[in-house]
A = this chain, B = another copy of it.
Amino acid sequence: MKIQLALDRLTIEQAVAVTRPVSPYIDWIEVGTSLIKEFGMDSVRALRNAYPDHVIVADMKTFDNAVYEFEMCFSAGADIATVMGAAPLVTIEACMNTAAKAGKKVMIDLLHTSEEQLEALQMYSDAIFCLHVSKDQQEMQGSTQGTEGFYVPPSLSGEGRKLAFAGGITVDMAQALTRIYPHVMIIGSAITKAKDPAAAAKTFYQLKKE
């Protein structure tokens, strides 16, 4: 299980700084969509250079222009890039091919993806599928990932499927999630906005060992 630190609504300098004390306890560093749209690929380059030994995830949320966008963030140093599951299949296919050529990985963000589309996506066995409760769903509807059952669509429940979970994940939720033991647990403000981010990250880190 990997812990992915999501960096959002920060300047590049803040993002680099908040990551420093928590870096021993996390595996992957996500350059959030808000950083990418505010600062462009400078944000990816900065995190890449500051943390050369971590996996860098560029949360591109690609919906079109797949080859251009994926090559752009891979050149900037990303190891993994995200595409929206709700995008046209031709775009997702192009993301998969572009990543494969570059020796990189794709995370498919399933936010607001239909069941029908999900059926079509399950053939991408190399992709990481991210079950995502969005910021707006959290902040405006009070939705979060649960602390009880986590819904995994039947089309994604097969053996060997790489799943990621994102959306306001707290320590309690993470504890429940370890029962599923997903490939990736994406943590944002539970670390970045903690009084003691290093201590918070360490708590998540220790969950991996239980």
Binding site for B on A (CB under 8 A): 8-9, 33-34, 36-43, 60-61, 63-66, 68-69, 72-73, 84, 86-88, 90-91, 93-94, 111-112, 114, 134-137, 140-141
Question: Which residue of chain B is the closest to A140 with respect to CB atoms?
Answer: B90
Of A39, A65, A68, chain B has the most CB atoms within 10 Å of the CB of: A65
Bound Cα distance A31, B41 (Å):
16
In the complex, are the beta carbons of B114 and A65 less than 8 A apart? no
Bound Cα distance A68, B93 (Å):
30
In the complex, are the beta carbons of A111 and B40 less than 8 A apart? no
In the complex, are the beta carbons of A8 and B65 less than 8 A apart? yes
Protomer copies: 2
Q: Please indicate the chain B residues that have their CB under 8 angstroms from the CB of A8 in the complex.
A: 65
Bound Cα distance A66, B140 (Å):
11
Main secondary structure of the interface of A (DSSP, over half): helix
Question: Which residue of chain B is the closest to A89 with respect to CB atoms?
Answer: B112
Known: A34-B72, A86-B86, A91-B136; 9 extra A-B contacts, CB below 8 A, are A34-B65, A34-B68, A37-B40, A37-B60, A37-B69, A64-B134, A86-B112, A90-B141, A94-B140
Of A37, A39, A42, A90, chain B has the most CB atoms within 10 Å of the CB of: A37
Bound Cα distance A135, B73 (Å):
18
Q: Please indicate the chain B residues that have their CB under 8 angstroms from the CB of A73 in the complex.
A: 37
Please give the distance in Å from A199's CB to the nearest CB on chain B.
27
Q: Please indicate the chain B residues that have their CB under 8 angstroms from the CB of A114 in the complex.
A: 114
Q: Please indicate the chain B residues that have their CB under 8 angstroms from the CB of A137 in the complex.
A: 88, 90
Please tell me which one of the listed residues B33, B39, B64, B88 contacts residue A64 in the complex, with CB atoms under 8 A apart.
B33
